[in-house]
Amino acid sequence: MMVFSLSIRRFKLCTLAALMALLAAPLAMFAQERAPASDGLSRVALVIGNGNYEGTTKLNNPGNDATDIGDMLSRLDFDVDVLTDADLYTMEDAVLRFRDKLSDSPDSVGFFYYAGHGVQSNGENYLIPVDARLNSESLLRTRAIPLQFVLDSLGEARNRLNIIVLDACRDNPFSWARSGARGLAVVGQLPPASIVVYSTSAGKVAQDGTGRNGAFTEELLKHLPTPGLDITEVLRRTGEGVQKKTDGIQIPAIYSQFFGFLQLAPGEGAAGTGAGSGPENGSSLDYLPAFFDEAPMDAKLVIAHAEELTWDGLWLSAWNVLAKVDPNDRDPYILAEKIRTVLDGNTYTDLYQGFWLADLPPDGDADAAREAGTLDEEYFAFDVHMAVQRMLDRGVEIPPVLASALGDFYYGAYDYCGDGYVLSAEDTKAEALRWYDMANENYILVDLVSILHYAELLIDAGRADEAVAVLKDETEWEADDAGLRLRLVDAYVVTGETDSAFAELDGLIQRAASKDEARDYYAKAIDIAFDQNNRQALDRYLAAMEANYPDDWLAGLTRHKVAVRAGDNASAQNIADDLLTKFPLHTNVLEGVLTDWLENPAGADGGLAFLNRWIGKSKNDALALGVFYLYRSLYRYYSIESSPSSSLKKSSIQNALADLDSAEKLLTQSPDADKTTVEAIQYIRKELQDALEQ
């Protein structure tokens, strides 16, 4: 499907898929009565998770996120309302009921959590109900929930404290926003005594995770129940965990007007939460990272002090502490901590040979501080490769903790820079593998992200059997991590252990938290079976797909591809006709069958015959006829690469232009045609005309 997927993004045609949007799942609401918490404060929560959208991209995690956050807050003595897949009216009504509950007690603590699609328009943030049909930006005002409405409602409650958590910064899925802003904007007017938490920085995009929960919510669930932690420390640790888990791609942001202290989970307090524990004032080693036990005591104290600073987002200060003690990179343990600091805390990197660092503002939003001119960033040249070579030349024994950091560093340089790094891409990968090997041999390669990177390098180096062993061992510790299991599936396929790969996928399907998640695993199994030409497994998974997902087109598209590969044109035509009858004008179906024929080594005639037949069937439907003329124009253009002569190429382009004219005329006249589709025709025409002149 690659050819047409690219063309659709290029020519802005994908909104045709909106014609076949599914109905929303029923609303699920849960409410529990709770006695006042041990601190005497009434606690009230509203939790919303929207994922099963009718008119735009569905999301895997929000339903799970809302359910799990609701359960956690209930354990923390909150009176919780949980909504999943809520429509506009339900969300509005729930916010007002939430406000009224908080108004009943001036000393109440409110917790509002939202996971799902969120967009910004003209600096205003909107939370998207599952029934929203937003083919125009102006409709946001009437078909979505303004975040300011939520904030203003909480302000009207005049209660003690409100915590607003927004795991809603996923990429804007609507066609009208493709060239606009991403993520959410900086919050407008905060209610008094409130904390607003974004799962990622303003204008950035959050990750819809591959496991049960999104990256941010997974970390929040980890830290909410920690006994004795102030809410600000809970959020800081959550942000730090998300940043590490996503390799710095996603950095949460906090905007606070609360200056008090609140423990959601009572307790004695966490170790090492006191201020000012640097080596200058007799620090303990509460913040010493794992695997630095063999370092000299003076190095341990410096590293612990630097690590404590990083917990508060003071990356520049942490670097300065390390650089002051060891400016020439002679201590291998301090070098390891320097690497950890620049990988986790840099605001920019210059091809992994220089890094910008800053002390983050209290809200953690470096981008906003930079725009305001208040972010103090400093650049440091830091050539890790040369520093290590100098150590090796001096005969310094590289400790395992440095080897682990070097594996992460060289993998990042390879992944980020490619051939732009001081070493070639192949040499950079070899260095990453070398140091990961050493860390693994010393049993300190325990970070899941590092293990996944290591397995990737092992597979790439032809050592897939070792990758299988490493990944299988990790499943004993991270048994429920779907990403780990999927990487193990990839390793099994490379080693030829397809039965084991299918067994892993069967387990993932059985444990899937939702039908959408299970569907992804079925799709992967089908791809593997198809690529391996394993007809028995392919038939098994296709039958399961057709039984469990009767309204899904994946199984049919796969059967079509099998028929095309086998040269059975009659079956391929029949399957394509059945698919298009069941899914009229669906972009995925059209692109799928046409790309199968475009990639057919025997020639692309099958796709042209299919389009000719459906053009003939659609004479009385202007919209359908216009769409088929448009696709035939694109199909002719993409098929000219297989033309043996320039004269045939020219003729094919001329025919494509004629089809484009017909498509434009029909779609312009059709009131149901998508506006962006009509506008895209001009871009297509220019490309065809340019090709004709070459």
On the question of pLDDT at 591 being above 80, the answer is yes
On the question of pLDDT at 11 being above 80, the answer is no
User: What per-residue confidence (pLDDT) applies to 255?
Assistant: 86
CA-based torsion, 536, 541, 546, 551: positive or negative: negative
By CB atoms closer than 10 A (0-12, 13-18, 19+), residue 219 is: buried
Q: What is the rounded average pLDDT of the residues 240-252?
A: 85
Q: Is beta strand 43-49 parallel, antiparallel or unpaired with respect to 109-115?
A: parallel
Q: How far apart are CA 607 and CA 603, in angstroms?
A: 9
Q: How far apart are CA 631 and CA 11, in angstroms?
A: 12
On the question of pLDDT at 622 being above 80, the answer is yes
**Mutual angle of helices 515-531 and 554-565, in 10-degree steps:** 10
User: Is pTM beyond 0.75 here?
Assistant: no
Q: Which residue has the higher pLDDT, 19 or 508?
A: 508
CA-based torsion, 133, 138, 143, 148: positive or negative: positive
User: What per-residue confidence (pLDDT) applies to 40?
Assistant: 60
User: What per-residue confidence (pLDDT) applies to 276?
Assistant: 34
User: What per-residue confidence (pLDDT) applies to 275?
Assistant: 29
Beta bridge partner(s), residue 378: 357
Short-list 207, 172, 175, CA closest to 9: 175
**Mutual angle of helices 605-617 and 587-598, in 10-degree steps:** 140
Q: Are 595 and 639 in contact (CB under 8 A)?
A: no
Residues 6+ apart with CB under 8 A from 205: 169, 170, 171, 182, 183, 250
User: What per-residue confidence (pLDDT) applies to 342?
Assistant: 96
User: What per-residue confidence (pLDDT) applies to 183?
Assistant: 52
Q: How far apart are CA 399 and CA 32, in angstroms?
A: 53
User: What per-residue confidence (pLDDT) applies to 82?
Assistant: 96
User: What per-residue confidence (pLDDT) applies to 50?
Assistant: 93
If residue 379 lies in a helix (H) or strand (E), which one and from where to where? strand 377-381
How long, in residues, is the chain? Answer: 694
Q: What is the DSSP string of 580-616?
A: HHHSTT-HHHHHHHHHHHHT-TT-SHHHHHHHHHHHH
User: What per-residue confidence (pLDDT) applies to 267?
Assistant: 57
In CATH, what is the architecture of 25-256? Answer: 3-Layer(aba) Sandwich (3.40)
Q: What is the rounded average pLDDT of the residues 579-602?
A: 92
User: What per-residue confidence (pLDDT) applies to 133?
Assistant: 79
Q: Which whole-number Å values give the CA distances from 34 to 30, 31, 37, 40, 93, in the listed order?
A: 13, 10, 8, 12, 21
On the question of pLDDT at 19 being above 50, the answer is no
User: What per-residue confidence (pLDDT) applies to 123?
Assistant: 75
3 state SS of 552 = coil
Q: Are 95 and 46 in contact (CB under 8 A)?
A: yes
Q: How far apart are CA 242 and CA 239, in angstroms?
A: 5
Q: Give per-residue pLDDT as tens, 104-117.
A: 888 899 999 999 98
Q: How far apart are CA 159 and CA 137, in angstroms?
A: 34
By CB atoms closer than 10 A (0-12, 13-18, 19+), residue 114 is: buried
Q: What is the DSSP string of 103-158?
A: HT-TT-EEEEEEES-EEEETTEEEEPPTT---SSGGGHHHHSEEHHHHHHHHHHH-
Amino acid in position 568: D
CB atoms within 10 A of CB 139: 14
On the question of pLDDT at 273 being above 80, the answer is no
CA-based torsion, 85, 144, 158, 266: positive or negative: positive
Q: What is the DSSP string of 30-87?
A: EE---PPPTTS--EEEEEEE----SSS---SSHHHHHHHHHHHHHHTT-EEEEEES--
pLDDT band for position 631 (cuts 50, 70, 90): very high
- Domain assignments of the chain as residue spans, ordered by start: 1-22+569-694, 25-256, 279-446
Q: What is the rounded average pLDDT of the residues 572-581?
A: 96
User: What per-residue confidence (pLDDT) applies to 23?
Assistant: 22
Q: Are 454 and 415 in contact (CB under 8 A)?
A: no
On the question of pLDDT at 530 being above 50, the answer is yes
On the question of pLDDT at 85 being above 90, the answer is yes
On the question of pLDDT at 292 being above 70, the answer is yes
Beta bridge partner(s), residue 84: 28, 49
Q: Give per-residue pLDDT as tens, 50-84.
A: 999 887 788 888 999 999 999 889 989 999 999 99
DSSP state of 164: E
User: What per-residue confidence (pLDDT) applies to 209?
Assistant: 53
pLDDT band for position 32 (cuts 50, 70, 90): very low
**Average pLDDT of the residues of the chain:** 84
